[in-house]
Amino acid sequence: MELTRREFLGTGIGTFSVLSLSFYKLSEWAEGGQPSVAERAAEIPIIWMATGACTGCSVSLLNAASPTVRFALVGDILPGKRLALAYHATLMAASGESAQRVLERVVQEHSGGYVFVVDGATAIEDTGRFCSIGERDGDPVSGYSHVRDLGRNALATVAVGSCASFGGIPAAAPNPTNCIGVEALFHREHILNPIINIPGCPPHPDWIIGSIATLLLGGLEALKLDEHHRPAAFFSQLIHDNCPYRGHFERGEFAQRFGEHGCLVKLGCKGPLTKADCPIRRWNGGVNWCVQAGHPCIGCCEPGFPFEGSLFQPVQPVQLTFPGTYPATGKDSHRQADANTYAAVGMIGVAAFLGGVGVATAARKLQTEPAEFDEELEASPATKEARHERPQP
């Protein structure tokens, strides 16, 4: 279809008008009128600040399917309350001084009443000058000072993604800019405001929207945060426990190279160490997830991510008990455990375990509870090295 110059200009002006709308007032525009005082009071502003980030977490949020981002921002997903994405430098039309004024206005009008979302690690080396976001009186404002000041006055802070939660890839060695996660920054600045970590590279959109909605409805108690401040609803079960390859693990069927059928633990799968509901929730509208697509879990929801060395280097799953014998396959009445498997995952005491009478099924099942797993995990030097918890700066 051909457009005249007049038609093209009219279409452009209409498009510009839509793009110029602030998310903060999107709900007013959608309903065709100004909200009442009660409705305005029920609006909960969200400030989304990206520091050392790749924007993958924002893209993941935009892929939310139930509810969609549009419904989450325009509809009432919370009874009597409405989320308002007041500031998001990547998504908002405003930029430069205009965007900075929006940010300052929201902080001034809603001090102590906004939700602060951080996306990305924060560089603290040399007073944070390696990451600046906007200017104030002609001087650049560091991401470090933004996270510190906005986090101190927020209703709650949500660290979205592994980088914001634990430092992630920007904090990997040698880490010249001294990147850290939000929680570590809060410890450094003695900030006691609530913080929720939603790790993942990137995190599932359900984890983001679900955690914020639960926080506003029931508070921190409803989230039931674990020792890493992650919501228990999404991060309480090991990926290994719900993995579709779990049966191959029990039978001792391990893939030796990519493309082979079997458990991926020898190819560096971090599922035995990682807590997340990826196998149940899955991605892209519930279509698929990493391991189902044939790739080992990289453990992106754990504090040690991205680990030392190669992502495909096996780690020691201390909470696992490998079967001594496996169910019969083919002509074999029983099959002994593969000694190389034990060597690959660093198991101890295999010889004593295999000294018993051969049986047709796995000699011992996984019986470790999550609390026991945490204790064993902290007690294992090999696993500590694999997860290399970063010291507080």
Note the pLDDT of residue 323: 53
269-287 pLDDT, tens digit per residue, is 999 999 999 999 999 889 9
pTM for this one? 0.72
Sign of CA dihedral 66, 71, 75, 81: positive
How many angstroms separate the CA atoms of 23 and 99, rounded? 12
Contacts of 26 (CB under 8 A, 6+ apart): 73, 74, 84, 85
**Cα 201 from Cα 169, distance rounded (Å):** 9
pLDDT at 160: 97
Model confidence pLDDT, tens digit, residues 63-73:
888 777 777 76
Q: Which of 131, 290, 295, 301 is catalytic?
A: 290
Residue 324: which pLDDT band, with cuts at 50, 70 and 90?
low
Cβ-contact 163, 169 below 8 angstroms: yes
Give the model's confidence band at 268: pLDDT under 50 very low, under 70 low, under 90 confident, else very high: very high
Q: For this structure, is 263 an active site residue?
A: yes
- If you count DSSP H runs as helices and E runs as strands, how many of each does the chain have, helices first? 17, 11
- The confidence score (pLDDT) of residue 295 equals 94
67-102 as b/e, with b when 16 or more CB fall inside 10 Å?
bebeebbbeebbeebbbbbbbbbeebeeeeeebbeb
Greater confidence (46 vs 388) lies with 46
| pLDDT number for residue 127 | 86
Please work out, in degrees rounded to the nearest 5, the angle formed at the alpha carbon of residue 342 by the alpha carbons of 247 and 272: 50
**Active-site entry in 110, 179, 229, 300:** 300
Q: Which listed residue (229, 243, 248, 295) is catalytic?
A: 243
Q: Which of 110, 131, 179, 201 is catalytic?
A: 201
User: Among 57, 131, 179, 301, which one carries the catalytic annotation?
Assistant: 57
CA-closest candidate to residue 243, choices 265, 267, 210: 265
pLDDT, tens digit, 9 for 90 and up, residues 97-121: 888 889 999 999 999 999 999 999 9
Q: Is 131 a catalytic residue?
A: no
Beta bridge partners of 288: 283
* 243 belongs to the catalytic site: yes
Low-confidence winner among 47-61, 209-223, 226-240, 263-277 (lowest mean pLDDT): 209-223
131, 163, 179, 301: which one is catalytic? Answer: 163
**Active-site pick, 88, 204, 229, 269:** 269
Residues of the chain above pLDDT 70, percent: 67
Q: What angle do the packed helices 143-152 and 182-189 form, to 10 degrees?
A: 70
| Catalytic residue check, 290 | yes
CATH for 37-231 (3.40.50.1980, 3.40.309.10, 3.40.50.700, 3.40.50.800): 3.40.50.700
The pLDDT score that the predictor gives to residue 76 is 62
**Where exactly are the structural domains of the chain?**
37-231, 237-322
Of these residues, 297, 301, 334, 388, which one is catalytic? 297
Name all contacts of 257-263 with Cβ < 8 Å and 24+ positions apart.
258/294, 259/294
* CATH no. of 237-322: 4.10.480.10
Greater model confidence, 310 or 293: 293
DSSP string, 170-221: GGSTT-TT-EE-HHHHHHHHT--S-EEEE--SSPPHHHHHHHHHHHHHHHHH
Q: Which of 88, 110, 204, 240 is catalytic?
A: 240
The per-residue pLDDT for 146 is: 94
Q: Which residue bears the tokens 């007032």?
A: 25
Pairwise pLDDT comparison (295 vs 12), residue with the higher score: 295
Which of 54, 187, 228, 334 is catalytic? The answer is 54
What's the whole-number mean pLDDT along residues 23-29? 40
Cα–Cα distance for residue pair 141/155, rounded to 1 Å: 22
Taking 70 as the threshold, does the pLDDT of residue 6 lie above it?
Answer: no
Average pLDDT over residues 353-382: 35
Say what the pLDDT of residue 314 is. 80
The span from the CA of 318 to the CA of 247, in Å, is: 19
- 232-251 pLDDT, tens digit per residue, is 999 999 999 999 999 999 99
pLDDT digits (tens, 9 = 90+) for 124-169: 999 888 998 888 888 888 999 999 999 999 999 999 999 999 999 9
Least confident of 23-27, 106-110, 136-140, 253-257: 23-27
Question: CA angle 155-214-182, nearest 5°?
Answer: 50
Closest of 147, 146, 172, 171 to residue 159, by C-alpha? 147
Our CA angle for 287, 311, 54, nearest 5°, is: 65
Least confident span in 89-98, 137-146, 299-308 = 89-98
Q: Degrees (nearest 5) of the Cα angle 341, 347, 348?
A: 135
Per the annotation, the verdict on 301 as an active-site residue is no
Question: Do 239 and 271 touch, CB atoms closer than 8 A?
Answer: yes
CA 294 – CA 262 distance, rounded (Å): 10
Mean pLDDT (the chain) is 76
Domains 37-231 and 237-322 share a fold: no
CB 306 within 8 A of CB 172: yes
* Lowest-pLDDT choice from 27-31, 167-171, 345-349, 373-377: 345-349
Instruction: List CB contacts of 374: < 8 A, sequence separation 6 or more.
Output: 227
